[in-house]
Structures are given as C-alpha cells and as structure tokens.
A and B are shown apart, each in its own frame.
Chain A
Amino acid sequence: MIEFESVTKRYDDGTVAVDGLSLVAANGEITVLVGPSGCGKTTSLRMINRTIDVTSGTISVDGQDIASTDAVTLRRNIGYVIQHAGLFPHRTIVDNIATVPHLLGWDKKRSKGVALELMERVGLSTALATRYPAQLSGGQQQRVGVARALAADPPMLLMDEPFSAVDPVVRESLQDEFLRLQQELGKTIVFVTHDIDEAIKLGDQVAVMQVGGTLAQFAPPAELLSKPANDFVAGFIGRDRGYRGLSFVGAEGLPVHERSTVAVGASEDDVRQATGDDDHVLVLDTERHPVGWLPVNGQADISPERLLALGTTFTPAQTLRAALDGALASPTGEAVCVDGDGRFVGVVSHGEIAEHLQTAGRQAG
C-alpha cells in the first residue's frame, strides 16, 4: 500500500508541482494518475521512490514513512518503467533485464534464468536475449522495460507513460498484455498517463489531477464516468463519455426477445415457414449455437455460402458496449445474445439498446 498524506512539492524555482495530494494506492491494484501535461503526475510518481524529495507531507509504503528508509534499498524494491524505456544501450537485452538482480548481487546464472523467463512472460522471444536495445522496435523495448522492472520480483511498480511512445495498435496490445500479466502477478501499481481512455481501461482506481498539482477526483473508472466530481473532470473525460460509459453497464437488463430461427440443414419449406415476413433468418446448429444470418428475399436456399457472418455475440454477463458493438456489426441491426455455453437466447436491436439506455439513464438520474 502506498499512501500520500497532504503531499506538496515545491521546486527550487517556486513552481508548485503537487499541492496537498492525499490518496491511497491499494495493494494488488492499478492506481492510475491521469491529467493534463504539467499537472504533477511524474513528480508525484518520482516522490514515491525518492528520486524527488517531498517538500511537505508524508508518503508511506506499507505503513512506513519512506523518509526514514534508505533510498537506494527502497528503489531496488520498487520496479520502475518510463516512457522511452530508458534501456542501457551498451548492455544486451538479457543483461538489461537482469539489472536489479545484478545490483542486488545475485549470482549470474540465477539472474539470467530469471531474465529469460521474464522475456517469455512479457511476450518476447528469447532469441532476442543477446541483442542490444538499438536492435529492437519501440514496442519490444517497452516490453523489455517492463521485464526489467519485474526482474527482482518487487511488490510494487511505478510506470510513467510506459505505452505512450508506441503507435496505437501496439499500445493496445501492450495494454492488454499488461492487464493479463497483472492478473497473474497482482502487483501494487501506480501508473501515470495523460490518456483518459488508457486510465479507464487499466485503472482499478483513477486519480484525476489538474494543473497546480491538486487532486480533482479519486474514484473507480465507472464512478468517474457516471459521476464526474466537477466540470474539470467532466471536461477531461470528454463528450463521448456516454459511449465509454457503456463499458460499465451490464447487459443483463436488456429486453432480449425471440426471433425466427432455423436449424442447419432445414428444408426450403421449413425456412419459408419460419421466416414469415422477415427478410433474414438466424441459422442455428444442432446444439442451438448461432451460425449466421440467412438472407431470404424470395429464395429459401440454405447453402452455407449464402450465410452472412454473425458478427459478435454477447452474453448477459457482458456490457452494453458489447451488445451495441454486436448490433452495429449485424446485417439486421440485431445483436445476438447467447448464454454462457454459447447457446442462442434471443436478439436485441440497436434501437432497443438505445431505448434501454435512455430509461436506465433517467432512472440513474
């Protein structure tokens, strides 16, 4: 647990970078610090490992005031990842990863073993082990940066915009893998970003900071979206927060209903009968798993090449966003709902999803 208690940082030139910050980064959670440039995110992060000194207030790690610890020992116990990875250009990848074990004086074989294992963990081929950083792509370097931070298995990680220097596609996959890794490792992480989408995607708790170094709101992502504390937070989250908010509303309340279906291998008569006036019919296999949409318009030929893709399906356990994505991708504008085993439950159209949202929104106030 990392606790800030009325922490203020005033630089020598008088700039107040952080002003009376109080928050708790809980164990095993990702706490995101987000805010515009210059709002004091990096300063806050670096005060935790004492690479910047606090002016007033205290920061404690697991209840112990960091001012009373040895700075070097503290740093070796807290992993650190920065934007451009900051890898050592003169060391091979495996040696870069083994930096903290090396500083701690582990024997070479053990450090190397740990480093190679971590390469696989973060999705790097061990064939890259003997390369130098300059021979890796930006995304690969960033993975090395994460592996290096994890090498001595520290309980805490500090990450300063670790994914913002790579292109959006790579960033997305780095984020996904980071979440998967965190699920396995359960580290206590303080993560800095200026990207609200990243904050919402990754954070268990999100601290929105504003210029001047004050805390505007500290809350889980869903609460941030549904109840922004003030205009600054609302503005920072942006106009499309409605769509973002869909990610936090469950799909279980949607008015899912029956619609015409046929089984794979049905005769033309069956199809005509089932379809009625509809111009598409949903095809299910023998286990009642949806297979695809069949356009009918006069013909009732059910040959597989005439099937249209199903798009994505959703389960009631997923979110409104999954349902809406499914509806938008479907040729009929209907999202297909399945149960946990993938069996057909019913459909819901995007019009019905929008209606549901409005009533739900009115109820929520």
Chain B
Amino acid sequence: MDWEWISSNTGEIGGLLGDHIYLAIVPIVAGLVVALVVGALGVRFPRLYPPIVALSSTFYTIPSLALFVIMPGLISTQILDPINVIIALTIYSASLLVRNVMDGLRATSPEVRQSALSMGYTPIRQLWEIDLPIAMPLVFAGLRVATVANISMVSVGALIGVGGLGELFTQGFQRRFYTPLLVGLVLSVLLALLADALLVLLQRWLTPWARLVR
C-alpha cells in the first residue's frame, strides 16, 4: 500500500468518487420515476401488467457491459459519453423497481381500498395518498438493491472509459500497481454501505408505521 500515492492523488480520487456517485444516483432517481409511472399504469390497467413484467425481466438479463456498448448505436451518442451509462443503468433500475412498485401498489388491503372508496376518495387521490405510501416499504426494498447494484455496475463503466472509481481498477491493472485498485475497491464498498444506510434512515423517517405492521 503506497500511502504517498494516495496523498498526492486525493484530488483525482475525489473527482472519480464524485463521478461515481453521480453516475450511480442519477439513474436511480430517473429509474424510480419511470418505474412509478409505468408501475402505476400496470396496476391501473391490468392488461399492461404481463407485458411490463416480461419486458422488465428481459432488460434485466442483458449483461451491463453489452448494454453500455450497444447504447451508443441505439441513441447515436459517442461511445465514451457518460450518458450511455446513465441511460443503461436507468433501464436496469427501472426494470428492477417496477416489479416492487407494482407489488407495493397492490399491497393495499381490500378493506382499506373499500373504505377509501366509500369515504369519497377519487382514484388519483387514492393512488397518491393511500396506495403509494403503503407501497413505500416495498419500493424502498427495491431501491436498496438497485442502489447497491448500480454502485457496482458503474465500476464496469470504466471499461468503456466513463470515469468513476472503476478507473482506479483499470489503472491498477494496467500498471501492475495495486494501491489504486485497493483504494477503488475500499471506496466503492464504503459508498455502497453508506448509501444503503442512508436509504434505511430515509425509510424509517418516511414510513415510521411500517415496522409496526406484520
């Protein structure tokens, strides 16, 4: 372990860490928005449910590197453009989250549905004020998986040269100098743990009732 290398490269390491966070977070947020919209449609119109499930499973089986590489061909961007990684990961995140969103939105019990309807909830308002909050525990479960998965998949993005902590891996391998590799590894693990812990805290704050149910 070469501490000197680390201290003389903190700027660069910090920059890569920032890139990594950016590349992982943006697709999570975008994927969540897509999943909420598609999931709500899938629950509202049951006919859409099977194709949504089929499509999301299909997306999920494409290897990430393949998706990174074919993305420029599909959306005619430069191969090194980080937007490729962002879009690819958004698709992954949305595919993973849409199942949780749909299961979550359907978790509202028949009694709760019936009383909401009978008290004069309109469908949209019920979705927003009843079904969505009740779906939150499942959505958060999905978010935790997707976030950790994204943080590790961003590292793969380094193979097509888009930045992030993965660059430290490639550097380390190319120069047979393992300090950057180790730094990259430690930082990405810490980042995953920290993101997961933050999500747990956020969930406790947003759904204090969820620990009481079941």
Contact = CB atoms under 8 A, between A and B. Distances in A.
Interface stretch (A58-66, A81-89, A198-206): A81-89
B122 interface: yes
Contacts of B213: 89, 134
Interface string B134-151: 101000000000000000
Nearest to B137: A90
Interface string A65-101: 0000000111110001011111111110000000110
A88 B130 contact: yes
A55 interface: no
Interface string B88-132: 000000000000000000000101101111111110010000100
Contacts of A91: 209
Contacts of B111: 82-86
Interface string B179-214: 000000000000000000000000000011110110
Nearest to A92: B209
B82 interface: no
Given A72-B120, A103-B121, A80 B115 contact: yes
Interface residues of A, number: 28
Contact of B119 (A75, A84, A85, A132): A75
Among A85, A89, A91, residue most surrounded by chain B Cβ atoms (within 10 Å): A89
Given A88-B130, A90-B207, A135 B118 contact: no
Interface of A: 46, 49, 51, 72-76, 80, 82-91, 99-100, 103, 132, 134-135, 145, 148, 158
25 contacts: A51-B114, A51-B117, A72-B120, A72-B122, A73-B120, A75-B117, A76-B120, A80-B115, A82-B111, A82-B114, A82-B118, A83-B111, A86-B109, A87-B115, A88-B134, A89-B112, A89-B213, A90-B130, A90-B207, A91-B209, A99-B119, A100-B120, A103-B125, A134-B212, A145-B115
